[in-house]
């Protein structure tokens, strides 16, 4: 492989296509459409490939919705926890669906978009998440409407509902139970809708996931209520497709050998710091040599993790961290002024495409 200056994110289109083919299979068998969750992954350098398999994008802000319209095309679903009137007036020019988080926002802006395809997010009071931080139905959650009566009152003015209640859910039984609960609670309303979004957070591209049962349950739900299902995959689309490629700058010792690489958890893998998790490593391979790998910022906890490696890391060694696509590239920042990783794509034909480099000017004008 051509030697490139590190750090950089490497997106592999071949691996990405494997996930996209599963999404296509789900649509063919179940009828469920999929829109890319831009909050998870918005690197539009690979949208040409993704749009061949997906039905559009879903957003969490005006800027994401605009990006979806400009760079992905197809359907544009515009959701936000809180829209401003300025947002709404811009969105109505290009969004296919506008989904409100509350009844109050719906009432506030209904006159501005009454001719559009309008949806409402429902909080069904159930969820699946390994982390309270990401649990959509956590106590005092502001995400979606909990008052059943208020939904019934405005239902005639809606065309769809959104139930986003999962995070990294790989348990098909819990999903089936949740769909039963949603059907029982909201079936009379769903029967009057044109579409329903089941949100994202479903790990259906994981190895061994029961796709046949998943598709069968989606199709059953769709037919039961005569409704078009949308999925909003993010992590499921890009899992195993992206690496963060780094180089060891120094090795220090403090009870354990510590390799310092030219990237940062704080700046380039922030989700791991937030959730107290550690990224997997693809290079070097595992072995018996225990080492800590750390970032180059001044934050004491800027630690990628401790790894058992096939050989001790040395200055100049290459280190690659796995799954650096979903909820990673979208959260990069300029903490400590550490250089931003370039964005590189390995295309389907094997060629490397350096699509973006960042320099001092990007840092200089990021805040002023």
What CATH code is carried by the domain that includes residue 120? 3.20.20.10
Residues of the chain with pLDDT under 50: none
Q: How far apart are the first and last CA of the chain?
A: 38
Query: Does residue 48 sit in the same domain as residue 196?
Result: yes
Spatial separation of the C-alpha atoms in residues 316 and 308, rounded to whole Å: 18
Domain boundary at 216, 238, 260, which? 238
Domain boundary at 205, 238, 271, which? 238
91 touches 78 (CB < 8 A): yes
Query: Does residue 95 sit in the same domain as residue 25?
Result: yes
- Token pair, residue 337, equals 């002024």
Query: Does residue 91 sit in the same domain as residue 161?
Result: yes
CA distances from 116 to 100, 119, 195 (A): 12, 10, 14
Query: Does residue 340 sit in the same domain as residue 359?
Result: yes
Domain boundary at 208, 238, 268, which? 238
State which residues form the domain around 52.
13-238
Query: Does residue 168 sit in the same domain as residue 115?
Result: yes
Query: Does residue 100 sit in the same domain as residue 155?
Result: yes
Q: Is residue 58 part of a domain?
A: yes
Q: Which CATH number do you get for residue 279? A: 2.40.37.10
pLDDT tens by residue, 95-136: 999 999 999 999 999 999 999 999 999 999 999 999 999 999
Query: Does residue 157 sit in the same domain as residue 188?
Result: yes
49 touches 348 (CB < 8 A): yes
pLDDT tens by residue, 269-296: 999 999 999 999 999 999 999 999 999 9
**Full DSSP string of 59-79:** ESSHHHHHHIIIII-SEEEEE
Q: Is residue 6 part of a domain?
A: no
Query: Does residue 226 sit in the same domain as residue 293?
Result: no
Rg (CA), the chain: 22
The pTM of the full predicted model, rounded to 2 decimals, is 0.95
- Token pair, residue 29, equals 């068998």
Query: Does residue 178 sit in the same domain as residue 84?
Result: yes
């Amino acid at each position: 492989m051509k030697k490139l200056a590190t750090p950089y994110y490497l997106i592999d289109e071949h691996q990405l296509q494997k996930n996209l083919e599963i999404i296509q299979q789900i649509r063919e068998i179940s009828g469920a459409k999929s829109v890319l969750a831009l909050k998870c992954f918005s690197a539009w350098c690979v949208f040409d490939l993704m749009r061949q398999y997906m039905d559009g994008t879903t957003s969490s802000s005006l800027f994401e919705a605009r990006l979806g319209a400009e760079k992905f095309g197809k359907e544009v679903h515009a959701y936000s926890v809180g829209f401003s009137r300025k947002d709404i007036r811009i969105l109505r020019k290009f969004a296919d669906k506008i989904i409100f988080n509350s009844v109050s926002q719906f009432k506030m802006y209904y006159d501005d978009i009454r001719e559009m395809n309008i949806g409402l997010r429902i909080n069904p009071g159930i969820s699946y998440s390994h982390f309270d931080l990401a649990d959509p139905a956590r106590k005092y959650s502001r995400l979606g409407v909990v008052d059943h009566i208020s939904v019934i009152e405005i239902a005639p003015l809606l065309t769809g509902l959104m139930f986003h209640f999962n995070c990294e859910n790989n348990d098909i039984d819990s999903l089936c139970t949740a769909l039963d609960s949603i059907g029982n609670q909201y079936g009379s309303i769903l029967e009057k809708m044109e579409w329903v979004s089941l949100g994202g957070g479903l790990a259906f591209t994981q190895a061994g996931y029961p796709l046949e049962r998943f598709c069968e349950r989606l199709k059953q739900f769709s037919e039961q209520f005569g409704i078009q299902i949308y999925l909003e995959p993010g992590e499921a689309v890009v899992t195993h497709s992206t690496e963060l490629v780094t180089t060891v700058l120094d090795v220090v010792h403090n009870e354990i050998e510590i390799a310092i690489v030219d990237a940062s958890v704080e700046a380039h893998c922030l989700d791991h710091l937030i959730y107290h998790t550690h990224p997997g490593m693809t290079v070097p391979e595992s072995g018996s040599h225990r080492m800590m790998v750390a970032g180059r910022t001044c934050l004491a906890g800027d630690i990628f993790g401790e790894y058992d490696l096939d050989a001790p890391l040395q200055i100049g060694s290459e280190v690659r961290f796995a799954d650096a696509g979903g909820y990673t590239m979208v959260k990069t920042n300029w903490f400590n002024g550490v250089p931003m990783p370039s964005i590189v794509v390995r295309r389907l034909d094997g060629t490397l495409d350096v699509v973006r480099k960042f320099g001092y000017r990007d840092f200089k004008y990021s805040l002023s």
